A and B are shown apart, each in its own frame.
Chain A
Amino acid sequence: MGEPAAAETVIVIDDDYTMRFSCGKILTKMGLQAEVFEDGARGLDGVATAKPAMVIVDLKMPGISGMEVISRVHEIDPQIIIVVITGYATIDTAVEAVRRGAYDFLPKPFSPDELRLIVNRGLERRRLAMESQHHEIEQTMLKRRFVTFVSHQLRTPLVAIHQYLDVLKHLDQEDDVPRFRRREWLDRCLTRIDELQNLITDWLTLAQVEGGTLSKERIKVDLNTVISPILKAYEQTASAKNVSLQAQLSEDCLFVWGDRNCLNVLFDNLITNAIKYNKSGGTVTVSGSQSRGEVVIAIADTGVGIPEKYRPFLFAEFFRVKDDSAKKTVGTGLGLHISKKIVSEMGGTIDVESEVGVGSTFWVRLPAWHEPEAAREG
């Protein structure tokens, strides 16, 4: 919406010259494009060519009646706002007109202010309707793209596994493929199956986070009791990659008000990433402290780092850094997206600092737990 929108067109259909003339003048002064017609037939032609935002029509006219104009206008475009002009005596007809799809009515005689008010209200309503329709279309397209994307993501590893097995089947007799390669292929099949498993798990977690079923609980959680077991669980994975894990967590002050499941998923994601994208001989340092009502956890790695151009998209669904160094690492592109959702749900924030070749640090800030006033005793 950067540039100013073209003036909206409003068509006035009235057999009374003075009426359509003065309406036209007021509308033009409002910055609208006004077109006036003296009967229904001409008016409808005008509607068909001008595609107006609004039609103001007198109900009582010779020839095609105002009532018929309403339905014909909506046949042309149901989004056009229709306002009917009626005499005092015909308020029942006005109600009927609204039932047939007119947006509002102007009882005669009306002041320029009344006209302006109704026109502005009608146009505003149209803009809202069009915006919400636009939003709906966007949502549908997003969903459709998501489905296409996910099925491609699911199919890719399956295709690779199938292909390995198909080739192995064809070569079964001759033992053409050297034994070590056969072994390597089977390992690759297992890796791709893991990839598939992770994708399904992450996708399910995302659905749970979005549906709110993963994070119903709000209890006092000591982050020491979340993070320490995760670090312990990944000790072997890390040492296999020659990465050392370090914790600098203050005792007794890392209490947050949250859901244990969600916090587990969150720190599991961030810690596995820090190990996965690290270098041999590197370190992962998880530090935590409390300041100004916030618990701040930093997960720092000494890995490949994230190029600046990718950082704005880092937390987006299915985003993965496309550099060759990152491509060798298996990932679903959902981990950080899920993490961000969890953190926002708990009223916190997540940020990243990174330098290519040096490492990345993810900062998680969560509202600290406070002893509720009412529950305090003594």
Chain B
Amino acid sequence: MQDEKRILMVDDDHDFVEAVSCFLELNGFRVFRAYNGADGIRLAKMERPDLILMDIMMNERTEGFFTIHEIRRDPALKNVPIFVLSSFCTRLPDFEIPASGGWLTHDMFFAKPVDTAQLLEKIRQRVGVTA
């Protein structure tokens, strides 16, 4: 049996978190929920998730970016894959973000609302779980 993979979700919209994390839990993941950047950083350090789902525009317009920056500063978390789920730009497709942009190659961007099935597939690929 595979280890239960741990996912941290950081988003200030409780409903969005509820829908996505519930779906992931039903698919065998353990989900930690944070509703602001500070809690996200705290939970990331405490729980060492295998992957992080991050919103950008929370209380502050760019809270997510600062949160990612803070998380990355922790040596234990500097390689954790981060998927950005944001509606701040709808035209961006979900593509691999180049390392030159300050992103790791395994980071991804998803425009909100996300295709839940596709998100699940990408998460599974990234953390090495087979359906």
Chain A positions near chain B (C-beta within 8 angstroms): 152, 155-156, 158-164, 166-167, 170-171, 176-177, 181, 185, 188, 192, 322
- Tell me the complex Cα distance, A339–B22, Å: 40
Q: Pick 16 A–B contacts, CB within 8 A, sort by A.
A: A152-B87, A156-B87, A159-B113, A160-B16, A161-B15, A162-B113, A163-B20, A163-B112, A164-B15, A166-B114, A167-B22, A167-B23, A171-B23, A171-B26, A188-B15, A192-B15
Are A163 and B88 in contact, with the CB atoms below 8 A? no
Q: In the complex, A342→B91 CA distance in Å?
A: 39
- Given A159-B87, A188-B15, residue A166 in contact with residue B26 (CB < 8 A): no
B1 at the interface (CB under 8 A from A): no
**How far is the CB of A378 from the nearest CB of chain B, in Å?**
64
Q: Bound state CA distance, A167 and B22, in angstroms?
A: 9
Tell whether B46 is near chain A: CB-to-CB under 8 Å: no
B99: interface (CB < 8 Å)? no
Task: List, in ascending order, chain B residues with CB within 8 A of A185's CB.
Answer: 18-19
Chain B nearest Cβ from A255, distance in angstroms: 44
The CA-CA distance from A163 to B23 in the complex, in Å, is 10
- Chain B residues near A177: list those with CB within 8 A: 22, 26
Among A166, A171, A185, the one with the most B-chain Cβ atoms within 10 Å of its Cβ is A166
For residue A308, give the distance in angstroms from its CB to the closest CB of chain B: 20
For B24, give the chain A residue with the smallest CB separation: A167
Contact A159 B112 (CB under 8 A): yes
- Confirm or deny: B57 has a beta carbon within 8 angstroms of a beta carbon on chain A: yes
Contacts of B23 in A (CB 8 A): 167, 170-171
Residue from the list A159, A171, A181, A322 in contact with B16, Cβ < 8 A: A159
**In the complex, how many angstroms separate the beta carbon of B90 from the nearest chain A beta carbon?**
8
What is the minimal beta-carbon distance from B57 to any residue of chain A, in angstroms? 6
A159, B57: Cα distance in complex, Å:
13
Closest Cβ–Cβ distance, residue B50 to chain A (whole Å): 21
Residue B59 CB within 8 A of the other chain: yes
Q: Which residues of A contact B18 (CB under 8 A)?
A: 164, 185, 188
In the assembly, what is the distance between CA of A161 and CA of B20, in Å? 12
- Contact between B15 and A163 (Cβ–Cβ < 8 Å)? yes
CA distance A177 to B87 in the complex (A): 26
Which residues of chain B come closer than 8 Å to A152, judged between CB atoms? Answer: 57, 87-88
Q: Which residues of B contact A (CB under 8 A)?
A: 13, 15-16, 18-20, 22-23, 26, 57, 59, 87-88, 112-117
Q: Flag if B57 contacts A163 (CB, 8 Å).
A: no
Minimum CB distance partner of A169 in chain B: B116
Whether A156 pairs with B116 at a CB distance below 8 angstroms is no
Q: Which of chain B's residues have a CB closer than 8 A to the CB of A188?
A: 15, 18
Q: Which residues of A contact B20 (CB under 8 A)?
A: 163, 167
Contact among A155, A164, A171 with B87 in the assembled complex (CB-CB below 8 Å): A155
Q: Which residues of A contact B114 (CB under 8 A)?
A: 163, 166
Query: Of the candidates A156, A166, A171, which one forms a contact with B13 in the assembled complex, judged by CB atoms under 8 Å apart?
Result: A156
> Can you add 10 more A-B contacts, CB < 8 Å, to A159-B112, A163-B112?
A156-B13, A158-B113, A160-B19, A163-B15, A163-B113, A163-B116, A167-B19, A167-B22, A167-B23, A181-B22
B112: chain A residues at CB < 8 Å are 155, 159, 163
Residues in A whose Cβ lies below 8 Å from that of B59:
322
Q: How near does chain A come to B19, taking the closest CB pair, in angstroms? A: 4
Contacts of B88 in A (CB 8 A): 152
Nearest-neighbour CB distance to chain B for A26, whole angstroms, equals: 52
**Residues on the B chain within 8 Å of A322, using CB:** 59
> Distance (Å) between the CB of A141 and the closest chain B CB?
14
Which B residues are in CB contact (< 8 Å) with A156? 13, 87
Q: CA separation between A170 and B16, bound complex, in Å?
A: 16
- Taking the nearest CB of chain A, how far is it from the CB of B89, in angstroms? 11
Contact between chains at A166 and B113 (CB < 8 Å)? yes
CB proximity of A194 to chain B, nearest CB, Å:
13
Q: B19–A176 contact, CB under 8 A?
A: no
CB distance from A156 to the nearest CB of B (A): 6
- Shortest Cβ gap from A315 to chain B (Å): 20
**Distance between A146 CB and nearest chain B CB, rounded to angstroms:** 14
Measured in the bound complex, the distance between the Cα atoms of B117 and A159 in whole Å is: 16
> Closest Cβ of chain B: how far from A171's Cβ, in Å?
7
> Roughly how many angstroms separate A185 CA and B13 CA in the complex, as a whole number?
14
Q: How far apart are the CA atoms of A166 and B113 in the complex, in Å? A: 9
Task: Give the CA-CA distance A304 to B20 in the complex, in Å.
Answer: 32
With both chains docked as a complex, state the minimum distance between the C-beta of A110 and any C-beta of chain B, in angstroms.
56
**Within 8 Å CB of B22, what residues of A?**
167, 177, 181
- In the complex, A163 Cα to B15 Cα: how many Å? 8
A49, chain B: closest CB distance, angstroms = 38
Complex Cα gap A292–B15 (Å): 51
